[in-house]
Amino acid sequence: MLRLPPLEFRAPRRLEEVVAALTGDDVRLVAGGTDLWPNMKRRHQSAGTVVSLMQVPGLRGIEQAGSELVIGATTSLAAVIRNEELRLRFPALARAVASISSPPLRSMGTLGGNLCVDTRCTYYNQSEEWRCSIDYCLKEEGSICWVATKSPRCWAHSASDSAPILCALGARVKLVGKNGDRLVPVTDLYRDDGIDYLCKQPEEILTEVLIPAESDHDHCHSAFWKLRRRGSIDFAVLSVAAAVWTDEQDAVTRAAIYLGAVGSSPMPVDVTALLGQPLSEELIVETARQARKIATPLDNTDFAAAWRGKMAQTYTHAALNEIAGLPVRCAPPRHGLTVV
Amino acid sequence: MASTLTSSLTTAVLSINGEDRAVVFPVHHTLLEVLREECALTGTKHGCELGECGACAVLVDGEPVLSCLMLAAEASGRTIETVEGLQQDNALHPLQTAFADLGATQCGYCIPGILMVAKGLLVREPDPSDEQIREALAGNLCRCTGYNRIVLAVKWAGAMARGDEWRPADEDFLSTPIPVVSGQ
Amino acid sequence: MSAHQSRIGQKRFELLGKPFRRVDARAKVTGQTRFADDLSFPRMAHVKLVRSTAAHANIKHVDCTVAEKMPGVLYILLGDELPVPYGILPVSQDEQTLAIDKVRFVGDPIAAVVALTEDQAHAAALAVKVDYDLLPTIDSVRTALKIPEPRIHDYGDEGNIHKKVSLKFGAVEDGFEQSDLILEDTVFFQGNTHLPIEQHSAVAVPEDEDRITLYSATQTPHYVHRVLARVLQLPASRIRVIACSVGGGFGGKTDPFNHEIVVAYLALKLGRPVKATLTREEVFYCHRGRHPVLMHIRTGFSKDGAMLAQHLRTALDGGGYGSYGVASTFYTGALQTTTYTLPAYRFEAARAFTNKPPCGPKRGHGTPQPRFALEVHLDKAAHKLGIDPAEMRLRNLAPADSVTANWLQLGSIGLGECIEAVVAGSGWKERYGKLPAGRGLGIACGAYLCGAGLPIYWNHMPQSGVQLKLDRSGGVAVFCGQAEIGQGSDSVLAAIVAEVLGISLADVRLCVADTDLTPVDLGSYSSRVTLMVGHAAVQAAERARDMIAKAVGDQLDVPANHLVFAEGRVFQAGDPSAGLDFSDAVIAAEARFGTLGTTGSYIPPRAPGRYRGAGVGPSPTYSYTAAVIETEVDAQTGMYDVKHVWVAHDIGKAINPTLVLGQIEGSVYMGLGEAMMEEQEFRRLPKRLSSALVHKMPSMLEYKSPGFHDMPEITSYLIETNDKNGPFGAKEVGQGPLLPVIPALANAIFDAVGVRVDQVPIHPDLVLKALQAGARGKEARAGPAAFPDIDFGEPIIVDTPEQGGDGRAADDPKARRNSGVGSSAGTMKDRDQALKEKDSASLTTT
């Protein structure tokens, strides 16, 4: 049986205690544990002490605060999907969360955890012994990124399904640290680097996700398409999250499209072509081409990388057609949004 | 590899299948290890210990969780249900009856995890659609059955539990009658 | 004589043919079943193997100085302590318990750390440092051909080619010359693995200074027993192997494994129980799964679709050790003749050693790959000839009870009925070729062994034995070496005994897979258990029934052969009131004969082939399957959905139809997994930087096995041919139904969008690539370009039965001295007679 290395475990009941405990290199924060524990079992993440956020009250739940919907960071992914208001108002977010992993992992995993989930790579998410046999990699203990050996950076890919859609919806997150708290747009939470992928201090804790009312179903059309091998369990090898705002004449006033899993962070697609006119096949084709341009799928996950690149275009096209009410010409992802 | 080779021992009272058990275990041990090794409840299985196969699923506070990814310490004070607790005295739970009679268990190794996730589903949704059954169980891999018989068994168990007389068709037990082609 | 032919106790079946709850079902749904890792013993220590991180290297030094001082460490075992090599086949004794001087793949075990806890063993294993002298690594058959030196093994046919086969049956050139159409295809079948949910586990308990018991998750306790005796150099009588209920095998637990030997040795050495349970990654390294096979198939057809000659070449990527590979190599050609008439056949094969985990037998052992090639090839031929693919198959069915060109004795053949069933069920005639764009149907067939005709090692003894103990309680204890791996073999065994004796399943107790207590059965592989154990069980039960009948007949003054055994009673035919309860009947017999026990055993009939290589392929009879698959292909992405599978299986006779359906559905599932996504893929790093060669994704997450959302609806039909060679007419079902699934999907994709993907798994990017090639006016195909240039050597030439051959090779000095097919009865006497001929030609394999 593959087991965790010995560690110390703390689960304080006050947020300040959690913040205070996050000092030193040998300490890590855990919420649902569905990312950290496997990583520690394979020994590519390590910690002498693990501090849990789960005993802190008040970080769980979904509520309306002013014009924003606020989701506590330790709200389980299952609870997010089961929230009827959220499903009605933010259907693409519900769809994205419902596509994360599998039901048991969604009842353990949290929304905050999914936003902070480690980047992934098939050269990295391997046991200590396996990584030793390739002399390790840049992300952990090694000196070469095996995905792109001439590159100075790490190309592990973003693995969060909630991140691209929350970026597209203009959501913000609350970060709490030793020097107080701050609100940051989700788009500013990420950096396109496989190692240093989060723009937050290690001791800062993501405590809330805030989604503006202007992004809900009454004001905005959104879609989420996820590409993966199987109808469950698998991480995305590509996801397309799109949100489009229109005026009374159906002209697009604002749009945001983010691609997941084809870069080390959610990748923004250039949407300028869409602005100022009603969505049309022609504009969608052009935007889908932009998606293809910025997607950098590499051979570090399932499926042929070149095909994933093509699919970035096909899926962006499909997601925008779905929003525009135009016929979607490619088969939709196999999974639906089934609440269980 | 900064970790030390020993970690502190935890003492906890775990509520498992309605029975409280006092257990002592190293704090880095998961619920899976403590159930199997400290409590001798070996009905809960493991296939990867990384949250990828579902074999170790149990119910914690009625929700399906993978016991390989939860520290036993985190389960303290919560309600844990395992396959050993499914029976009522010596009578099988409808899920167990349905799985046994429909041949929904072959090697049986993934079955405890599947039974527990299915139990959680039937509590929340006593009359699930096929799609709900498939989605609820989508985190559990099975290599023997091809799944369809499991979906049918869960549906049947739901009917039994509701007192509904629905049961799988005869052809699910006997095979589909060989079609007769006209003109042959 | 089997029960349904017996004069005694003629009756309708009470159990057989009806759905009954499997005998181990209750234990399996309550968590009571004890799998190997569920066992725990006082003072049990834990082993962690240190595995090679180099793909091909000489070991310079193993440094245990840090590890051996770590907390809880009891001992660190190195290879030189257990130097005797072993292997499942007598012809490839090439494995070492722990590598002594050389490692052959990443994952090859080098040392075993035993400690008080698994935590401690793992920590210490990570501290063992191995110094390697790296050697060039070989990742494919092509590379093996290119790099004959250094050799991965110092044996084998040449360089890094382990085994070469070249066989020629009949007038192949004439056949091609007379053909109206000659078709050639090059296809590739990627390797894949069993992925049982249960990871391998073994626990050894010392019983005395020189006695040991090993509990293991194994499909073949008898073969593990033999290997332990060999490597530990203990008399076999001091070793007891107990196969626990196996949590999924599919062929992956049929080899003796390093960890089994290690725990047995360490338990004896340390005088305490020792356990090893592998991690999922290690299970990928044990492997023994489907060989990657590149194939070239060339067939001559008449214009009405008959095959006149075929030349099949296969190249197998074998991995780092022999395993069952020699047998696998022969199997990539042996069963090609079992479904359709093929008068002339040439088969050439080569298996290469490569620096990857060893390949071996997986469900269908060596036959799904050439079956894929053949059935896709036939589909193409049908289109070229303008014949409906289902019709073409029906026209060319091999005749029942015939002997094939390569000298396999066929039994009953329900393939025609199978094809008709799936054709009717799927609406083939109305729908094939006529569905809207993107939708398609495909058909394919297959055949499989009902038990390998020969054991792994040459011997004169039964392949299966059953013992019965009956006493005044009325309970019957059944002892048999067979191993329940989920397929339902316990239930088949119990049901046959209960049926013959007319008692309830609840009155039958099983003791199985225990080399101390149960008579030898060779194990759960080659789909042999229902047929072979079934025959042995019938014989043992009939012997018991005859004794009871004699005693009861005397007591009631009724002729023994007028007695019926049914409903838990023994009574006079036509007068159920004149009789005894079964327990009273046993009392009568126990009083008359003393303590009651009977045995039964089975040896397959001798096959007619006498040429070198004829040992692989023979079986008492063959099962047949046909499948139609409906798919929907998305031309934008190349992604496809399997909508429905219709499958008809010639089961001979269903002992328990519900369990038969489960086997069919499981086979369809596994076949679809292989067709759509499963692959054992490897990584190379840029050559200038590293010679590493690693498994690309040894995890349940990245090795894609289909889940609940990925399975289509399945409609299963059972065709009962009541085969005279099977117990109660029964044939196998565990493996055969997998075979047609893979080519049927490829053929369905062609019907849907007009492209050929001559490669498995059929990834969506390949479908898209073929579509785009077609759109550019090129051949709408994705697949391998060419078959490598391999010198297979001079063929062994064998005349076919049609040519009046005698089953021997043309250059065999004994050729034609003993003409004809010979006896095919399965008794010990016939066997002895046959063995006297000292057939040196047959290869003994699975």
Phi, psi of A244 (to 5 degrees): -135, 130
Q: Does C277 touch chain A (CB under 8 A)?
A: yes
Contacts of A199 (CB under 8 A, 6+ apart): A184, A188, A189, A190, A191
| Alpha carbon distance A269, A168 (integer Å) | 10
Radius of gyration of chain B (CA): 19
Query: Which residue from C106, C685, C709 is facing A231, i.e. has the nearest CB?
Result: C709
- Cα C772 from Cα C509, distance rounded (Å): 62
Contact criterion met (CB below 8 Å) for C739 and C671: yes
Say if B2 is an interface residue toward chain C (CB within 8 Å): no
Q: Count interface pairs A-C at CB distance under 8 A.
A: 106
Q: Do B48 and C21 touch (CB under 8 A)?
A: no
Q: Which residues contact C131 (CB under 8 A, 6 or more apart)?
A: C59, C60, C61, C62, C63
The bridge status of strand C109-115 relative to strand C45-51 is antiparallel
Above pLDDT 90, what percent of chain B?
A: 93
When CB atoms are compared, the residue of C636, C689, C698 closest to A330 is C636
CB contact under 8 A, C707 and A230: yes
Residue C652 structure tokens: 């001979």
C709/A334 Cβ within 8 A: yes
Distance from CA of C33 to the nearest CA of B (A): 8
- Beta strand C756-757 pairing with C713-719: unpaired
Contact of B22 with chain C, judged by CB distance below 8 Å, is answered with no
B7 to chain C, any CB pair closer than 8 A? The answer is no
* Burial class for C838, CB neighbours closer than 10 Å (0-12, 13-18, 19+): exposed
Residues 6+ apart with CB under 8 A from C273: C41, C42, C43, C44, C45, C203, C204, C205, C206, C267
Amino acid identity at C328: S
Q: Tell me how far apart the terminal alpha carbons of chain A are, to the nearest angstrom.
A: 30
Position A335 scores a pLDDT of 67
C-alpha to C-alpha distance for C825 and C822, rounded to whole angstroms: 9
C111: contact with A, CB 8 A cutoff? no
Q: Which of A316, A310, A225 is nearest to A279 (CA)?
A: A316
* Chain A, chain B: beta-carbon pairs less than 8 Å apart: 127
Q: Which residues of A touch B37 (CB under 8 A)?
A: none
Report the C-alpha gap between B183 and C358 in whole angstroms. 52
- The per-residue pLDDT for range B101-117, each reduced to its tens digit, is 999 999 999 999 999 99
What does each C-alpha distance from B128 to B119, B132, C18, C295 come to in angstroms? 11, 6, 30, 47
Q: Is C427 on the interface with B (CB under 8 A)?
A: no
> CB-based contact (8 Å) between C737 and chain B?
no
Q: Are strands B63-66 and C682-684 parallel, antiparallel or unpaired?
A: unpaired
The predicted structure's pLDDT at residue C10: 56
> In this predicted structure, what is the pLDDT of residue B180?
81
Q: In Å, how far is A100's CA from the nearest CA of chain B? A: 11
What's the Cα-to-Cα distance from C126 to each of A43, A130, C70, rounded to whole Å? 11, 12, 11
**Number of other residues whose CB lies within 10 A of the CB of residue B61:** 13
ipTM here: 0.97
Contacts of C113 in chain A (CB under 8 A): none
A338–chain C Cβ distance below 8 A for any pair = no
CB contact under 8 A, A47 and B2: yes
> What is the full DSSP assignment across C765-805?
HHHHHHHHHHHTTS--EES----------SPEEE--TTTT-
Q: What angle do CA C356, C359, C365 make, to 5 degrees?
A: 160
User: What b-and-e string marks burial along B93-123, b requiring 16 or more CB atoms within 10 Å of the CB?
Assistant: bbbbbbbbbbbbbbbbbbbbbbbbbbbbbbe
Taking the C-alpha atoms of residue A139 and residue A160, their distance in angstroms, rounded to an integer, is 18
Q: Is there a contact between A54 and B4 if contact means CB atoms under 8 Å apart?
A: no
**What chain B residue is nearest to C665 in terms of C-alpha separation?**
B146
Quote the tokens at residue C702: 């990245």
User: Which residues of chain A have a Cβ shorter than 8 Å from any chain B Cβ?
Assistant: 1-9, 11, 25-26, 33-34, 37-38, 41-43, 46-48, 52, 54, 76, 78, 101-105, 107-108, 231-233, 335-336, 338-340
Q: What does the alpha-carbon distance between residue B81 and residue B91 come to, in Å, rounded to a whole number?
A: 17
Phi first, then psi, for residue A278 (nearest 5°) are: -65, 150
**Are residues A330 and C637, on separate chains, in Cβ contact within 8 Å?**
yes
B48 token code pair: 């990867």
Spell out, as residue ranges, where chain A has pLDDT lower than 50. none
- Which tokens in the block code for residue A41? 């079992």
Chains touching A (3+ CB pairs < 8 Å): B, C
Give me the residue from A1, A43, A134 closest to C118, CB to CB. Answer: A1
What pLDDT is stored for residue B181 in this prediction? 67
A33:B64 CB<8 A: no
Closest CA to C239 of C222, C220, C259, C253: C222
Q: In terms of residues, how long is chain C?
A: 846
For residue C431, what are the contacts with CB-CB under 8 A and spacing of at least 6? C441
Cβ neighbours around C454 below 10 Å, total: 25
Is residue B55 within 8 A of residue B94, CB to CB? The reply is no
Residues 96-115 of B with CB under 8 A from C: 96, 99-112, 115
Nearest CA to CA, how far is C157 from chain A (Å)? 30
Angstrom distance (rounded) from CA C154 to CA C353: 11
Terminal C-alpha separation, chain B: 73
Residues of A in contact with C710 (CB under 8 A): 230-231, 334
Residues 44-103 (B) with a CB less than 8 A from some CB of C? 44-50, 52-53, 55, 82-84, 86-87, 92, 95-96, 99-103
Q: Has residue B5 got a pLDDT over 50?
A: no
Element (H, E) at C183: strand C181-189
CB contact under 8 A, A231 and C53: no
Place of tokens 């047998």: C327
Q: What element of type H or E holds C262? A: helix C258-270
Contact C730, C718 (CB under 8 A): no
Whole-number pLDDT of residue A331: 84
User: Is C148 in a helix, a strand, or coil?
Assistant: coil
Residue contact B128–A108, C-beta within 8 A: no
Give every CB contact of residue C215 below 8 A, 6+ residues apart in sequence. C36, C39, C202, C203, C204, C205, C242, C244
Rounded to whole angstroms, what are the CA distances from C352 to C57, C96, C187, C372, C790?
18, 19, 18, 21, 11
Decide if B13 touches C, using CB distance below 8 A: no
**Does the beta-carbon distance from A122 to C698 stay under 8 Å?**
no
Mean pLDDT of B122-145: 98
In whole angstroms, give the CA distance from residue B152 to residue C591.
50
Going by the DSSP 8-state scheme, the letter that residue C606 receives in this structure is P
Total-model pTM? 0.96
Rg (CA), chain C: 27
For every residue of A210-263, DSSP letters joined together read EEEGGGSTTT-EEEEEEE-SSSSSPPPSEEEEEEEEE-TT-BEEEEEEEEESSS
Asked if residue A315 lies in contact with residue A224, where contact means CB atoms within 8 angstroms, the answer is no
CA A106 to CA C842: how far, in whole Å? Answer: 57
Interface of A with C in 8-67 (CB under 8 A): 43
Low-confidence ranges of chain C (pLDDT < 70): 1-11, 815-846
Q: Nearest CA to CA, how far is C130 from chain B (Å)?
A: 19
CB distance C54–A133 less than 8 Å? yes
Q: Which residues of B touch A336 (CB under 8 A)?
A: 131
Q: List % helix, strand, coil for chain C (3-state, nearest 5).
A: 30, 25, 45
SS3 content of chain B, % helix, strand, coil (to 5): 35, 15, 45
Per the structure block, which two tokens stand in for C313?
Answer: 């070449």
Q: Residue C778: how many CB atoms within 10 A of its CB?
A: 10
Residue C85 burial class via C-beta count within 10 angstroms: exposed 0-12, middle 13-18, buried 19 and up: middle
B touches which chains (3+ CB pairs under 8 A)? A, C
**Strands C45-51 vs B79-81: parallel, antiparallel or unpaired:** unpaired
Rounded to whole angstroms, what are the CA distances from B145 to A189, C374, C706, C731, C750?
44, 27, 12, 20, 28
Q: CB-based contact (8 Å) between B38 and chain A?
A: no
**Among C26, C34, C701, beta carbon nearest to B52:** C701
DSSP letters spanning A238-251 = EEEEEEEEE-TT-B
User: What is the biggest distance separating any 2 CA atoms in chain A, rounded to whole angstroms?
Assistant: 62
Pick among C16, C22, C24, C28 to test the B interface (most B CBs inside 10 A): C28
- Give C305: exposed, middle or buried? Use CB within 10 Å, 0-12, 13-18, 19+: buried
* DSSP letters for A127-193: -HHHHHHTT-BTTBB-S--TTSTT-SS--PBP--SHHHHHHHTT-EEEEEETTEEEEEEGGGTB-S-
Nearest 5°: phi and psi at C627? -140, 145
For C5-48, how does the pLDDT look when each residue is reduced to its tens digit (9 = 90+)?
344 445 689 999 999 999 999 999 999 999 999 999 999 999 99
- Partner-chain contact A9 B136, CB within 8 Å: no
Rounded alpha-carbon distances, angstroms, from residue C695 to A119, C281, C355: 21, 9, 10
Across all residues in chain B, what is the average pLDDT? 94
**B33 touches A: beta carbon within 8 Å:** yes
Q: What residues of chain A lie within 8 A of the CB of B136, using their CB?
A: 103, 340
Nearest to C475 by CA among C596, C354, C648, C359: C596
